[in-house]
Amino acid sequence: MANPRLRDQKPTQWGAPRQGHIIATVRGRPRGFSLAREGLFNPNNTPTWLEMGARWDIFCKVIDNLGDIGVAWRLARMLAAEHGLEVRLWVDDLAALERIWPSASAIEPVQRVSGVEVRHWRTPFPSTEPGDVVIETFQCALPESYLVRMAARSPAPRWINLDYLSAESWVSGCHKLPSPHPRLPLTKYFYFPGFDATTGGLLRERDLDEERSTFLGDRDGLACYWAQHGLAMPQDGELRVSMFCYPEAPAAELLQAWSLGTVRITALMPEGPAADRLRASLGWSAGTHAWIERGSARLRIVPFTDQSRFDRLLWACDLNFVRGEDSFVRAQWAQRPLVWNIYPQAENAHWIKLHAFLDRFTAGLGDADAQAIRQLWRAWNGIARPAELARAWEDFVARREVIARHTEHWARELVRVNELAAGLVEFCGDIGKYAVD
């Protein structure tokens, strides 16, 4: 299936291929970083564009949720911290950034946060020199005045559209595909995240596994973590669950299924529209963060948290309900069973995307185990009938040990795939190889 966004676009020549290795700037190198070990050492001492201090501009428009800014902000931080690059993030909704990273300010139009220069993307767009690399996240459409300045540069900036994550088969054929601008002497390249070596891979910090292992290996620290949520350490047979979903998800119906089951469920749900809808559907008028208790289940709505603390919630829980893109990827790195609430699209186009991932994720499982995952995910996303949710939950939780082992194996295999930020750096340094006559 071809990507309809690219159907009528024709590739053009970008320029001669660049030779040699990419050299990262030395500013901000992480502890233990080695140019030779990372394969970035240039034996000929020939200056490259990265060695001379490449500047990256990342553009992000926040639509109606936090997935876009979540991906853009994580990428910006990683490029600055792990690759020593000068990164400038242009975002149209600073309040959304502040929500996932509280040290950012919703009112400061220019600020420096965690090694990244953050700029408020406003209209009219200010006159500014474009970066050496320009990342347009999710086809957010760059300002016209900025495009004109890009075209005036020689050489032109490397221009990348970082697209949405998908497991669909057509992604491999569109990854790194060039697309000329219809009027200006510029070429944009499409860069697709994905789950195999034919795609751009997923964002993953270098020290992520070490941080997770340290967190889970510190029993006293875990006890303190749960105490912050008003909880003791999990008891035998208890299932700790995080629930981050869209308002359309059948959270009230799932809570009802939990309440009638034999497994003790303790769930934490970040505040937001989904939590508001759950409260309303239950007629819940108690305190904002009071426990909702129903039979075998109890659920607490907790304050929204930043990206780092959200990782710890995923690591600490036995099962994670996640939504969108960024939290979906983080749940996979958490190596815990997960249920994905995919972003709903018109005419249920998102169902194709959901099933494409399920086909990959359940490969290698027995039929019954794979079906248990499929049925719960389908019911959670409104594909199956609401009445099927309780049965789907029963089947899923009964097979949770097999599913947990499979999820750990899946995460270990994903580590072998390209890391997205490092792949972008490499691609931009050698972009001439992908030009087409």
Closest CA to 50 of 42, 62, 58: 42
Query: What is the Cα–Cα distance from 179 to 358, expressed in whole angstroms?
Result: 31
Query: What is the Cα–Cα distance from 80 to 85, expressed in whole angstroms?
Result: 5
Q: Which of 57, 68, 98, 369 is catalytic?
A: 68
Tokens 């799932």 belong to residue? 254
CB–CB of 95/113 below 8 Å?
A: no
β-bridge mates for residue 118, sequence order: 89, 111
Q: Which H or E element spans position 298?
A: strand 297-302
Neighbours of 125 (CB within 10 A): 15
CA 400 from chain center: how many Å? Answer: 24
Q: Could you give phi then psi for residue 283, rounded to 5 degrees? A: 65, 35
Cα atoms found within 13 Å of the Cα of residue 144, Cβ hemisphere only: 4
CB–CB of 150/186 below 8 Å?
A: yes
Q: At what angle do helices 67-83 and 420-429 cross, to 10 degrees?
A: 70
Q: Which of 82, 98, 325, 419 is catalytic?
A: 325
Task: Indicate if 253 belongs to the active site.
Answer: no
Task: Indicate if 325 belongs to the active site.
Answer: yes
Neighbours of 289 (CB within 10 A): 12
β-bridge mates for residue 242, sequence order: 268, 320
Catalytic residues: 68, 325
